[in-house]
Every structure is written in C-alpha cells, then in structure tokens.
Amino acid sequence: MQFLFKTAYNDDIRFLAKTGEKVRVSIVVIFLLAAPLFLQDYYLAELGLLLVYAIAGIGLMLLTGHTGQVSFGHAGFLGIGAYAHSVLLTVGFPFLLSILTSTAIAGLVGMALGRSASKMHGFYLAIATLAFGILIETLFGEWSSVTGGHMGYAVPALQVFGVPLTEVWQQYYVDLLFALFVVVGAANLFRSPTGRSFVAVRDSELSARCLGVNVEWVKIQSFGISAAITGLAGALLAHHLTYLAPDVFGVLESLKLLLMIVVGGLGTILGAILGAIVISLLPVGLSFLKGALPPAIGQTAGLEPLLFGMIIVLVIVFEPAGLYGRWMKIRFFFETFPYYRKSSFVRQKSYLKTERMR
C-alpha cells in the first residue's frame, strides 16, 4: 500500500495523486492518441462514438452523480446541441463558433430548466425532467421551418478552418480533443468551490445551506453546466449521425444516458467513461457473438436487448456501486494484499436526511 506524504499545499488538489494513477491515465491517453495507427475504420468510428457518449455521460454525471439531481430528459440537451450546431453550420457559422454557440444555447436552456427544477425533489424532479425531454422532442418534430420537422435535417460535413475532415481518423481526433478537454475540465471543476458545493448539495441540502451554500443557485449552475456539456456531446454526435430526426432524441435515449452512468458508477468521472464503454461496446460485442452462435440462437430476433438487459440487471444487483465500485475493490484488494476486508467498503459516515427540512 502506498502512503501519500503531502509536502505542498498543491498536493491537496492534484488531479492524479498516486503514481499508479499517473501510469494508468498516461497509458490510456497514449492508447487513444495512437489508436488511428492500428485500428480499422470501423473500430475507430466506434471509439469516436464512445468518446462522444463519454462526454454526454460526464454531463449527466455532473448533475445526477455529483449534485444528486436525477434527469430523465437529458437527450433533450443532446438534441438541442445537435440541432443548434447543424442549423448554425448550415447558416454559415464556422465550426468552432458554431459548436461554442450551440453549447451555450444548451447551457442556457439547462439553466432555465434548473431554475424551475431547483425547488423540486425526487419524483417531482423526475417527472419534470421527463416532461422536458418529451417537450423538446415534440418541438424538434413540429418546428419544421428550423429543424426540418419529422423529415429530419441533414448535418453539414465536418470542416474546421475550411479544411474538410471527412476521414474517420480526422473526425476521431476532433472527438478526442473535446473529450480530453471535458474530462480535464470536469476534474478541475470538482476541486473548485463550485464543484465542492455540488457534492455538498447532493449529500445533504440542509448541511450545505448551513455552510452558506446557496442551494438553488448551485442547482441552476449544475443544470447549466451539465446541459452545456451534454449539448457539446450532441453537436459532436450530429457529425456521427449525419442526419438528425426528432425520435433520435427521445425518452429512450435519455434512459440510455441514465443507465450508462448508473452502470458505470455514480459520482465519478471514471464511472461515466466506464458506462460509455459498456453502452457502446456491449452491442458491438453482442453483434459479433451473434455471428459465432449457432444460427438457431444467433438469428433469433430480440437477442441483443435480452442479453443487454440481463447484463445490466446483473451489474445492478451484484454491484450497486457500478463498475467503478468493482474496480475500486479489485484495486484495493491488490494494494492491501493480504489485508482486504469486505467491511472496508461499508460506509462509515452517513448524513441525516430529513425530508421535512428541505
């Protein structure tokens, strides 16, 4: 086991404290940077899509995992980002300006939703966000002068500073750039007062308020930042889809995002990324598995959702802390070998939650 000796004030807020973490993160970043050298187009496109979903996952994680506000309508923000970006590109905005503007639009809509949702809890919040998701989907369908209605909207080709980036690896690097930016940005946020106040609101609103946190404003901020990040993911997703239709951003997509962060493990950035890996790679794996199975089983309709659902149920039943929790336990087992005890992960500190006092 490694003990950390802090010798400077900055040690408290370093992104990666332990040597092991530094090594692991470097390996992943080098792998991602070098991926186009050895991956086929198909796998590279999948990896790009995975990064986009990881961004969206981090967006929702910020709200649900860190601030404790559940959202069943995040596909709406994904859609706002995608549509705004495509429409702005069509109008003639350059790529960077367009992606920033659409991120800002999604963020503002998120803050507006946050304003109305900041006093809601539990079921009421869930229903409000669900209604928002449905509302946005309907808006995409009916506002046909802007969004092309149900017939859909063609996304202009990816082009940065007049250089068309149509090859798969080029698009991949664009995704990677934004993904790294969002990961570092989110990690940075969580060591700032704003990020800490998010966690305080999640753990106990009453305690947070007693410590001088403006709970409503924190929630509005959280909704805004979360929506902006998800909107950014939506803008990138638009280039993967190349054609937008309202039902892409329906309730199912919202549930998928929520599922992603629950399976990954609530409350950590790594959890959002692990969740994105599961959600993106599981269908790919299943699709190849289907080819290997005998035709009588492999060609059965509905096999994928069945296996998909089973895996998710198993994860939730046997590892409620998500994949991140499992990873922590495995790591802890090796780091403290042979002193691993199950009770190490029983939570010691708990907060009194009084519904009446909210």
Return residues touching other proteins (CB under 8 A): 36-42, 44-46, 49, 138, 141-142, 144, 149-152, 154, 167, 169, 237, 240-243, 245-248, 252-253, 283-284, 287, 291, 299, 301-305
Tell me whether residue 306 or residue 330 sits nearer to other proteins (CB atom).
306
**Smallest distance from the beta carbon of 117 to other proteins, in angstroms?**
24
**Smallest distance from the beta carbon of 240 to other proteins, in angstroms?**
6
**Smallest distance from the beta carbon of 144 to other proteins, in angstroms?**
8
Tell me whether residue 171 or residue 197 sits nearer to other proteins (CB atom).
171
Enumerate long-range contacts of 119-125, CB under 8 Å, 24 or more apart.
Answer: 119/216, 121/358, 125/69, 125/70, 125/71
Tell me whether residue 43 or residue 190 sits nearer to other proteins (CB atom).
43
Tell me whether residue 49 or residue 136 sits nearer to other proteins (CB atom).
49
- CA dist 36 and 191 (Å) reads 33
Tell me whether residue 6 or residue 150 sits nearer to other proteins (CB atom).
150
Number of other CB atoms surrounding residue 5 within 10 Å = 5
**Smallest distance from the beta carbon of 287 to other proteins, in angstroms?**
6
Tell me whether residue 33 or residue 210 sits nearer to other proteins (CB atom).
33
**Smallest distance from the beta carbon of 302 to other proteins, in angstroms?**
4
**Smallest distance from the beta carbon of 296 to other proteins, in angstroms?**
11
Tell me whether residue 194 or residue 287 sits nearer to other proteins (CB atom).
287
**Smallest distance from the beta carbon of 137 to other proteins, in angstroms?**
10
Burial class (CB in 10 A: 0-12, 13-18, 19+), 187: middle
**List of residues 6+ apart from 220 with CB closer than 8 A:** 111, 114, 115, 118
